[in-house]
Structures are given as structure tokens and as C-alpha cells.
Amino acid sequence: MAVPAAELSRYFDACATTPASEGVLAAMAEAETLAWANPSSLHGPGLAAAESLERSRQSLAAHLGATGEELIFTSGASESIHLALLGSAAHLPPGRLLISAVEHPATIAAAERLRQQGWTVARAPVDRRGLLIREAFAALLAPPTRLVSLIAGQSEVGAVQDLASIGTLCREAGVPLHVDAVQLVGHGPLAFAALPLDLLSCSAHKLCGPRGIGLLLRRRALPLAAQIGGAQERGLRGGTEPVVLAAGFARAVQEACERLERHGRRDPLEPLRNRLLQQLLRLPGVELTGPEAGGEGRRLPHHISLLVRDPQGSPLAGRNLVRRLWEEGVAASSGSACSAGGASPASPVLAAMGYEPGEAAAGLRLSLGPWHREEHLPGVVAALQRARDRLICR
């Protein structure tokens, strides 16, 4: 990592973004030197750039269990989600879009665009853990539902949906399924070809890749209308391709997949996360939100989400805790990074899970990255205890 190790050791906000790894920076530097030209140009430098771009595409596709023809480069996951939903809906008569009650703001924004085009939007309910209620979801697949979009790994509370089961229900109903896999890619094995879904979005910067690039995987049989005109990406996404960013993205996914393979296809952060969580839950007034961290695989392996209460049982505001934690030298977050600037402090995700307004404003998230080590954990526990005590004693 180019970021100093001392700074990274106290950074527990990997679900918001991650620093580029040394391997990613090296891959980008090489591409910047050897593949700097426009890949649409027919001269030597342009052909070198086109070759680099294609190598990145094929590498990414292979590691994600897809083909190069199924992969579309975008500027990030938000654009990928909009392309998936708006591009698919353009080939369908207006109907109902089904999303979950705990979606990322990017999906909610795309859903609102479809609403303005005459679609209706339904939200499938979740349980107290943030997991879909299967019976309610299945009932909502009936007409006029024509498109489904779900977050695979919930960024605030860590809930991992059962994609195989959900996708099978969608296939049986004949409804295309898009999955926001931003938090999932790199933290567990994922094979697009083997999953019953049609579209998948992810982003590089969540797994030690560069900002400014994402991708959309699309089954070739699924019609998709471009949202940015141009000949690039087989006419599905115009604009000069970011060859250097693609090289960094490919290296980031390669490194993440190799890390998984070295550890039996399990994220090596999971046991570290479990030990940190156990220590945090011993503190007074600290409780877990979202699924249990266990062997079921229903929680992201690098993710912790908490509520913290005062001695009287009242929840402490999550944003205040984040500020106090930083004063104690630990970077954490409250809610989604993409919605943190909203007017209301209450998390719509926690509210959808059944938490009261005060509790919904008290969410705290810590997320680990591959730079974390065992010796970093005690400092986090001590910092949270001091931050809580300072808020109580104000």
C-alpha cells in the first residue's frame, strides 16, 4: 500500500473505499507507460492500448466467472446500476420494479428515474437482520413486476442475501434479476456463469483498486439500451475507455481472488473480524445489528455493524460516535458513505429492519481491509470505550 502503514492500521472504513494496493499502483504505472494511447486508434500506440484493455477485460471476466463479451466497463457501480436498470427497462413496457427495503442510494436513484418514466416501484420487506423475507419477495414477483434489483451484500448492516435461492425464484417467474455486488466481490467466491441472475454491478475502489471505474456483467441474450451514446463497449457505453484504470481494476480483482484461494476460498479477514467483534460486544451498551457473524455466510466477512447505548439504554447518535472515534484515532462510519450527507440522521436501512427512529440514527460500522492485523484490534476496542464514555459524560 502506498498509504503509510500507521495510517492504514487505524482505518476501519473499507466498505466506503480502500486505498490502491502496491500491485494495483504498479499495474497502473506500467499501463500508463506502455498503453497510454486511445484504444480506438489504429496506430501502434493505439493498438497497444487496445491490447491492454482487452487483457484487463479477459482477466476480470475470468476471475468473476464470466466471458469478456459479458463485461461492460463503466465509471463505477452507480453508473453500472443505472445502466442495468434503465437500459433493461428501455426494452420493456412500463411495469413494476422490485427492489429490497435496504437498497443502496444508487439503486434508489435509478428506481426514481424509472418511476418518472411510468414504472411503479415496490420494496420487498426484510427481517430484523436485513435479510429478505422469502414469502413476501416471492409474492411480489407476480405481474406487473418486470424487473428486480437487489443488493447482494448490504453495506450498512452486512446482510448477505441468498442469491441462488432468490435468483431461482426470479427465473421461475421469468423476471430479470440485477444484483449490486459491490461489497461482495473480492470477499468470497463468485461465478457469474453459475448464478441464476442476469446483471451484476461492482466497483474497483472497494477492493484496493482505483476510483473511477466499475463494470456491469450482462447475459448476452438480455437486451440493453446504452445510456451514454458512442461506439465503445460494443455500443453499450460511449466514451474513451480508461485503459489505465482497467489495468488497476484487473490487478485488484486478481489479488483478491488469489487471497481467497490461499485461504481455502474464505476471506482471511473473517476470523480477524470475529475476534474484534467479540471484544467489542463485551463493552457495556454495545450490540450487534444485522446477521450474526458465524458459519452461515449471511454477513459480509469483513463487516461489523453496531448500536451503542448509554447506561440508561438510550442509543448514542452514530455520527457523534464516528467523530469521537476519529478523535481517538480510529476511522469508522455511520450509515452508507453515499447517503451520509442527507438531512435526516436516521438510517432508512435500520428503519426498514424495524428499529425505532432513535436507534436508526445510532448505527456504527467498522469494516476491515487486507492491511489489518491482530495487533490493531485492541486499539479499536479501547477507542470505542473512550468515545462512548466521552459522549455519556458531555
Question: What is the full per-residue pLDDT of the chain (394 aa) written as tens digits?
Answer: 678 888 899 999 999 999 999 999 999 999 999 999 999 999 999 999 999 999 999 999 999 999 999 999 999 999 999 999 999 999 999 999 999 999 999 999 999 999 999 999 999 999 999 999 999 999 999 999 999 999 999 999 999 999 999 999 999 999 999 999 999 999 999 999 999 999 999 999 999 999 999 999 999 999 999 999 999 999 999 999 999 999 999 999 999 999 999 999 999 999 999 999 999 999 999 999 999 997 677 999 999 999 999 999 999 999 999 999 999 999 999 964 555 444 447 999 999 999 999 999 999 999 999 999 999 999 999 999 999 999 987 6
Task: Please list, in sequence order, all residues whose beta carbon lies within 8 angstroms of the beta carbon of residue 346, skipping any fewer than 6 positions away.
Answer: 357, 360, 361
First to last CA, the chain: 38
Q: What's the one-letter identity of residue 115?
A: R
**Gap between the Cα atoms of 107 and 158, Å rounded:** 17
CA atoms within 13 Å, Cβ hemisphere of 327: 13
Task: Please list, in sequence order, all residues whose beta carbon lies within 8 angstroms of the beta carbon of residue 274, skipping any fewer than 6 positions away.
Answer: 293
- Contact between residue 374 and residue 275 where contact means Cβ atoms under 8 Å apart: yes
Active site residue 208: no
**What is the domain partition of the chain in residue ranges?**
5-18+265-392, 22-260
CATH entry 3.40.605.10 includes domain 22-260 = no
Q: Catalytic one among 170, 208, 257, 338?
A: 338
- Model confidence pTM above 0.85: yes
Q: At what angle do helices 44-63 and 243-262 cross, to 10 degrees?
A: 30
Residue 297's alpha-carbon distances to 133, 145, 202, 293, 386, in angstroms, are 17, 29, 20, 8, 32
Residue identified by cell 444508487 is 106
Look at the domain 5-18+265-392 and name its fold: Aspartate Aminotransferase, domain 1 (3.90.1150)
